[in-house]
Amino acid sequence: MKIKFLAIMLLAAFATACVTKEAPSEIGERLTPEQIASLSAPGAADIWNGKLVSVQGYPDYNTHLIKMSQRNMMTISPAPDSKEVLIKAKIVVVNADKVGTRIYGTADRNEIRVTSDDLELKNAGFLLDDYSTVEYGELLYSGMIVYDGSDYWLEGVTIHKAQ
């Protein structure tokens, strides 16, 4: 009797402690390079601040400034290895060596996974909003525009396959 009770309790605990996946995130209005360039124009903050937008491009960051498991400021460029910056974005970077198997809670997504030996983005895995993982390449970044009076960036970023 005790074994049956214990088995039922374990089964109930397992059934309620599963990993859940959330619905896809909303993707904001796609900005053109011209619209992005106009974000610093007088009065643009009143129009764009707090608005959900998306930008397609390639990410880049300074490997010396990365803090694992935190949102890191990086740039989104129109081409790989480009010095031109379309927009900045705060994106979570995690150490892939320390990512375990989650047995409960919400599944991870919208993050960049690097190894402690190799912080280069070209060797990273990108965990997208749809829970798939892709390699470095052109992706779509969606988030709220934040303007602090002198600079702007995307906050609450979700990562999607390029469209």
Per-residue pLDDT of the chain (163 residues; tens, 9 = 90+): 677 766 665 555 555 558 889 999 999 999 999 999 999 888 888 899 999 999 999 999 988 888 988 999 999 999 998 999 999 999 999 988 877 666 677 888 999 999 878 888 889 999 999 999 999 999 999 999 999 888 999 999 999 999 8
Query: CB of 52 within 8 A of CB of 69?
Result: no
DSSP letters of 77-98?
Answer: ESSTT-S--SEEEEEEEEEGGG
pTM above 0.75, yes or no: yes
Alpha-carbon distances of 84 from 15, 131, 159, rounded to whole Å: 49, 29, 20
